[in-house]
Amino acid sequence: MQFKDVIGQDSIKQRLIQAVSEDRIPHAQLLVGPQGNGKLALALAFAQYINCPDKHDNDSCGVCSSCRKYAKLIHPDLHFTIPVIKTAAIDKPTSSDYMTKWRQYFGENPYPQYEKWMQIIADENKQGSIYVDEAKDLIHKLNQKSYEAEYKVSIIWLPETMNITCANKILKILEEPPTKTIFILISEAEQKLLSTIRSRCQFIRVPKIEDNDLQAAIVDMAETTNTNPATIARLARGNYFMALEIMQNDELRSYNLRQFTSIMRNGYGRKLQEILTWSEEIAGIGRVRQMGFLKYCGEFLRENFLFNLKEPDLIYMDEPETEFSQKFAPFINERNVMFLFREFEKAYTDVSMNGNAKLIFTDLGLKVSKLIRL
């Protein structure tokens, strides 16, 4: 991965390059920002640049042995830590157990999404975590001498998924890292990290991808689409993964809209039996998809509330969503919007904590039936 392969983010690239040129590379950095903005791609490009023996002023060479190994994620001094799952065959999982699948996934899309990764390695009812055995394995690796590169680089994707025991062990090595060792943490929810871990890292906030940069990337893609690239870039809100979904007419977006429409219509009509049927269907789709649906609902509520303001520049909806919202938006107002937000957020939290999905969604449907008429 080279900096030129990362969409936009020019100011962040320059900041990272300058740190290398001035020989003031932090031993630990925390890259924070929304999903799909290229944080992980930036981290890998930075690590490759650091260890490239023939680096240029603005990028790694891309052709040396080190760069070629980085491009394939097989450099012996590059260590990836990612959320994994326990299975009957793997009781104490580490990233090494899933590295073949991870290399394949990252090779196809260097802007990975947690939900998609879980679909690849899990049955959607399981949620990934970084377990204590991962910390033990990583500490052992980093305490060894470098094989080839000047620096050993540990990239931790979504450190907020570490369990508390693992986080405490990682904290110890962050406080006293081995010589010539660099940590790069990639987070989408830094508030869930231990404050002591956050305090040990140099904080870099990576913004969403600018629309013009994302649009240019869409135009350069080999796939064709019937949707205008400018529209795709706008709907994606700086999220490359979302742009791909829109381009590919992903069924998930349509499914989420259908389910949102169902809960709102049944709630407004106070159709108890239909609400119960709906909750049973949603309870059967798996926790990762349930969380994705609830996140979609929160965003779509926002769009409908803003739709009433008649300010098109504030709205991010596709044609089916806009068509539905023309009649639905007036029901989302200042009297109920915050209450609705809270109920969907509560449901998201309950699902994430492995609550009973049928009870969670039944309760949500009943709450909606009360709030939608306010």
Residues 320 and 195 reside in one and the same domain? no
Domain count, the chain: 3
Residue 82: domain span? 3-207
pLDDT given at position 199: 93
Residues 164 and 109 reside in one and the same domain? yes
Residues 176 and 80 reside in one and the same domain? yes
Residue 124 has pLDDT above 80, yes or no: no
pLDDT given at position 227: 63
pLDDT band at 96 (very low <50, low <70, confident <90, very high): very high
Residues 217 and 203 reside in one and the same domain? no
pLDDT band at 254 (very low <50, low <70, confident <90, very high): confident
Residue 17 has pLDDT above 70, yes or no: yes
Angle between helices 287-307 and 114-121 (to 10 degrees): 160
Residue 355 has pLDDT above 70, yes or no: yes
Mean pLDDT computed over 287-307: 92
pTM: 0.72
Residues 46 and 118 reside in one and the same domain? yes
Instruction: Using DSSP, state whether 154 is helix, strand or coil.
Output: strand
Q: What is the pLDDT of residues 300-350, one digit of tens each?
A: 999 999 999 888 878 888 788 889 999 999 999 999 999 999 999 999 999
pLDDT given at position 331: 96
Residues 219 and 320 reside in one and the same domain? no
Q: How far is the C-alpha of 285 from the C-alpha of 335, rounded, in Å?
A: 32
Residues 168 and 46 reside in one and the same domain? yes
pLDDT band at 224 (very low <50, low <70, confident <90, very high): low
Residue 223 has pLDDT above 60, yes or no: no
Residue 168 has pLDDT above 60, yes or no: yes
Residues 174 and 286 reside in one and the same domain? no
pLDDT given at position 330: 95
pLDDT band at 156 (very low <50, low <70, confident <90, very high): very high
Token couple for 159: 């450190």
Instruction: Using DSSP, state whether 270 is helix, strand or coil.
Output: coil
Mean pLDDT computed over 28-37: 94
Residues 65 and 29 reside in one and the same domain? yes
Token couple for 185: 């943490």
Residues 154 and 292 reside in one and the same domain? no
Burial environment of residue 147 by CB neighbours within 10 A (0 to 12, 13 to 18, 19 or more): exposed
Token couple for 208: 């969403």
Residues 199 and 322 reside in one and the same domain? no
Query: 96: domain CATH number?
Result: 3.40.50.300
Share of the chain above pLDDT 90, in %: 75
Mean pLDDT is lowest, of 89-103, 226-240, 335-349, for 226-240
Residue 370 has pLDDT above 70, yes or no: yes
Which of 194, 220, 247 is at the close of a domain?
A: 247
Most confident of 171-180, 236-245, 308-317: 171-180
Q: What is the pLDDT of residues 110-119, one digit of tens each?
A: 899 998 899 8
Q: How far is the C-alpha of 245 from the C-alpha of 219, rounded, in Å?
A: 15
Q: How far is the C-alpha of 310 from the C-alpha of 363, rounded, in Å?
A: 33
Residues 164 and 56 reside in one and the same domain? yes
Mean pLDDT is lowest, of 157-171, 183-197, 211-225, for 211-225
